[in-house]
Amino acid sequence: MFYTNNNTSRIADTLFNDLNTILKSSEIPDYSSKNYKTDSDDNGLTLTMNVPGYNKKLINVSVDGDDLVIEGKSNSGDSEGFTKRFKIGDCLDVYNIEANIVDGVLSVSVPYLEEVKPRKIEVKVK
pLDDT at residue 87 tops 50: yes
pLDDT at residue 31 tops 70: no
Q: Of 64, 85, 108, 88, which Cα lies nearest the Cα of 14?
A: 88
Higher pLDDT, 59 or 30: 59
The pLDDT, as a whole number, for residue 8 is 52
Number of domains in the chain: 1
Separation of alpha carbons 91 and 115, rounded Å: 8
In a domain, residue 118? The reply is no
- One-letter identity of residue 78: D
**What CATH number is attached to the domain comprising 71?**
2.60.40.790
Q: HEC profile for 8-61?
A: HHHHHHHHCCCHHHHCCCCCCCCCCHHHEEEEECCCEEEEEEECCCCCHHHEEE
Q: Domain range for residue 58?
A: 5-111
In a domain, residue 120? The reply is no
